[in-house]
Structure 1
Amino acid sequence: MLFPLGHKPSNENQQTRMLKMQIAMIGLGKMGSNMTRRLAAGGATVFGFDVSAETRTQLAAEHANIRSFDSVASLIAEMPSPRVVWMMLPAGEISETMFGELTALMAPGDLIIDGANAMYKDSQRHAKELNALGFKFMDAGVSGGVWGLANGYTIMIGGEKDAFAMAEPFVKILAPASDRGWIHAGPAGSGHYVKMVHNGIEYGMMQAFAEGFALLEAKKELNLDLAEVAETWRHGSVIRSWLLDLTADTLKNDTKLDDIQPFVPDSGEGRWTVLEAVELGVPAPVIAASLFQRYTTQGKGDYVAKLLSMMRNAFGGHHVAKK
C-alpha cells in the first residue's frame, strides 16, 4: 500500500501492511520486467536489480512504484526486514551464484523465491540449505510468457505455509485474479514439479498442433486456407485453446513460414518430465515423442538419418543421397 507524500501510517497494522507490499525482483528480463510492471501497477513497491543498467533504469522511469539499484547489496540494504526477494534468473550457475550472494546479505526470516525453470530436486536442496541458515524459501513456476503483464501469470508455488503468507499478496497481484490462476501446491519443490509437468504437456500440445497443420498444408490439391481453418477451430471446437489462438494469429500473418528456421530449442523441463516418467514408471509417449522431435530439429537426428540411409543401401541397394 502506498501513502501520499508526507503521510504517516496511523498505526502498527498499517505499517505492517505497507512493509508487506515491498518486494525485490532480481533479474529484469522479459519475464522479470513484466512481472515488475504488474506488481507496481497492483500497488507493490518493487526494488529491481538487473546486470543491465539500461534495463533497470528504463524500468524505474516507467512507474513511481519501481526503484532500481546498481547492486544487489545496495538493494538489500535499502529494504526493511522481513524481506521478500523474487529471483527471475536462468536456472543453474547464475541462480546458484545469486543464492550465495543473497544469503551473505540477507537476514534470518527473510524469504527468497526462485522463479526460474529450475529442476524441482534442486529446489528441495535449496530449501534445506536456506532453512538451515534461518531463511525462508519458495519455488515458483511461472507461466504466461509475454502476455502475462496484461492477462496475469499462472503461479505454481511450493514451500512452507509461513513463507507463503509472506508471498501471498504478491502472488495474488501477479495472477489473473486474486482468487484464481495460482496454487500453493505443497512443500518445497512442488511448485517447480507442477511447472515441469505443465511444460511437458505444453510440448505435447504444441507438437500435435504443428503436425496437424503440417498435414493440412501438405494436401496441396485441396488448396486449404490454413488461417481460415485455425480461425474456425477456435469457436466451439474441442481443441480450442490459447495455443490455437496464438497459432491462428501466426497463420493469419504468414501461412508459408518461409523465413523461419526449422529449429526448436528445448528448455530442459520437457526433458525432466520424461525422466520423471521413466523414474515413476508412468507412460508418457506423447510428451517423450515431442521432446525427441525437438532434438531432431536441432540436428541431433542427422546421424540417425545417415545411418538409416546406409542400412537401406546395405540390404537393398537403395540409393544414398549425398551432399
Structure 2
Amino acid sequence: MQLGIIGMGKMGLPLALNGRDKGLNIVVFTDKADKRAQLKQEGITVHAGLESFVSALTPPRAVWLMIPAGPPVDAMIARLRPLMAPGDILIDGGNSRYQDSQRRSEELRRDGIHFLDVGTSGGTEGARNGACLMVGGDEAVYGRMEPVFRALSGGSGYGRMGASGAGHFVKMIHNGIEYGMMQAIAEGLEILRHGPMPFALDRVTQVWRKGSIVSGLLMDMTAAALAREPDLGSIKGVVAASGEANWTVEEAVRLGVSAPVIATSLFSRFKSQDQEKYAEKSLAAMRREFGGHAVIAKGED
C-alpha cells in the first residue's frame, strides 16, 4: 500500500523508515536537501516539489502530515488542498488540538477530501519500530487505512477512538497522564538522591525496569539515561511544557473533572523554567520581615 509522508523531523523520518521496512510504498516530500540525500540512500522515493510529490501518488491518495501543530498544519493543508482530489485521504499524525482536527475535517469534507487525526505515541523509537496510533475519523475511511496503521504500529498498538478529533483528544489525555508519571518518577529519584544511604540511581532504575509495578517505557528510558550519566551533570533542570498537557488541564477545568496530579506536574514544568525564582525570593523576604530570618544574598553559596 502506498503512503505519502510530509515532515522529516524527529518523528517523520523514522516513521518513513518504519513504513519502508514494513512493506509500504513510501513517498516523501521535503524541502531539506540533507533529508532528501539521506532518504535516497535509504531507497525511499523523495520529492523536492509538492506538486511532483502529489502527482507521484496513485489516486485515491493518502498523505500523512508529521509536522508541528498549529499554523504549520493549516499552511500545509492550504498548499495541498488544490492539488488533491475527492476521495483522497489526509492524515495529521502530529499533536494538533482536537478542536482544530474537527474543524479541518469539516473544511476538507467540502472538497470531498477525507481527514483522519492520528495521535502518535512511542517517541522516536516507536516511530521507527512500532508506534502507538490513536485514530479519529470516519469508520469507513479508517478501514481503508487500517493496513497502514497495522504496519506502522507493528500489528497491535492502534485503533479507532471515534469520530473526527477523537484521536487527538485521546492523545492529549495520554500526554497529560505521561506528565504525571514522569513527575512521580523524577520525585522518587530526588528523594533517593537525598536519602540516608548513597543509592546508585542507575542501579535502582535498572532493577525497577524488570518486573516491578513501575516498570515500563518511561522507566526504561530513565534507566538508559542514568546508565549513560548517573549524575546527569551535563543537563540543566529546565523542562519544556508542550501544549498537550496545557490542553488537558484546560479540558479538565471545562468539564469540571479533578486532575490534581496532571495539573501539578504541568505547573512543576513551568516552575523549572523560572530562572529568577521570584516566588521563592518573595518567601525569603517575608520570613526576614516577620521573623528576622537570614536571607542568602545573590552570589553567596
TM over 0.5: yes
- Please state if 1:136 is matched with 2:114: yes
Q: Which amino acid aligns with 1:49?
A: F
Report how far residue 307 of structure 1 moved: 2.3
Q: Which amino acid aligns with 1:132?
A: R
1:215 aligned residue: 191
* Alignment root-mean-square deviation, CA: 1.5
**1:199–1:270 contact (8 Å) kept in structure 2:** yes
2:38 aligned residue: 58
1:190 aligned residue: 166
Q: Which amino acid aligns with 1:57?
A: A
Q: How does 1:1-323 map to 2 (within 5 A)?
A: 21-63=1-43, 66-177=44-155, 180-219=156-195, 221-299=196-274, 302-323=277-298
Q: Does the C-alpha gap of structure 1 residues 301 and 281 become closer, same or farther in structure 2, counting only changes over 3 Å?
A: farther
Report how far residue 43 of structure 1 moved: 1.5
Q: Does the C-alpha gap of structure 1 residues 68 and 194 become closer, same or farther in structure 2, counting only changes over 3 Å?
A: same
Distance 1:154 1:274 in 2: 23
Of stretches 299-308 and 235-244 in structure 1, the one that deviates more from structure 2 is 299-308
Distance 1:26 1:211 in 2: 38
Report how far residue 285 of structure 1 moved: 0.5
> Residue 30 of structure 1 aligns to a residue in which SS?
coil
Report how far residue 230 of structure 1 moved: 1.4
Q: TM-score, normalised by structure 1?
A: 0.88
Report how far residue 56 of structure 1 moved: 2.1
1:9 aligned residue: none
Q: Which amino acid aligns with 1:203?
A: Y
Report how far residue 257 of structure 1 moved: 1.0
Report how far residue 149 of structure 1 moved: 4.6
Q: Which amino acid aligns with 2:88?
A: D
How many aligned positions are there? 298
**1:84–1:166 contact (8 Å) kept in structure 2:** no
Of stretches 265-274 and 145-154 in structure 1, the one that deviates more from structure 2 is 145-154
Q: TM-score, normalised by structure 2?
A: 0.95
Q: Which amino acid aligns with 2:220?
A: D
Output one character per residue of 1:27-53: Cα deviation in whole Å (capped at 9) or x when no partner. 011111111111111111111012212
Report how far residue 303 of structure 1 moved: 2.5
Distance 1:46 1:200 in 2: 32
Report how far residue 172 of structure 1 moved: 0.8
> Residue 240 of structure 1 aligns to a residue in which SS?
coil
**2:114–2:141 contact (8 Å) kept in structure 1:** yes
Report how far residue 251 of structure 1 moved: 1.7
**2:129–2:152 contact (8 Å) kept in structure 1:** no
Report how far residue 241 of structure 1 moved: 1.4
**1:295–1:301 contact (8 Å) kept in structure 2:** no
**2:29–2:48 contact (8 Å) kept in structure 1:** yes
Report how far residue 75 of structure 1 moved: 0.6
Output one character per residue of 1:168-189: Cα deviation in whole Å (capped at 9) or x when no partner. 1111110022xx2001111000
> Residue 116 of structure 1 aligns to a residue in which SS?
coil
Report how far residue 101 of structure 1 moved: 0.5
Q: Does the C-alpha gap of structure 1 residues 300 and 165 become closer, same or farther in structure 2, counting only changes over 3 Å?
A: farther
Q: Does the C-alpha gap of structure 1 residues 295 and 24 become closer, same or farther in structure 2, counting only changes over 3 Å?
A: same
Could you list the runs of 5+ residues in structure 2 that have no partner in the other structure? none
> Residue 137 of structure 1 aligns to a residue in which SS?
strand
Deviation >4 Å, runs of 4+: none
> Residue 157 of structure 1 aligns to a residue in which SS?
strand
Distance 1:108 1:102 in 2: 13
Of stretches 191-200 and 301-310 in structure 1, the one that deviates more from structure 2 is 301-310
Output one character per residue of 1:149-205: Cα deviation in whole Å (capped at 9) or x when no partner. 55400000100012212321111110022xx20011110000000100111111000
Distance 1:122 1:165 in 2: 23
**1:116–1:140 contact (8 Å) kept in structure 2:** yes
Could you list the runs of 5+ residues in structure 1 that have no partner in the other structure? 1-20
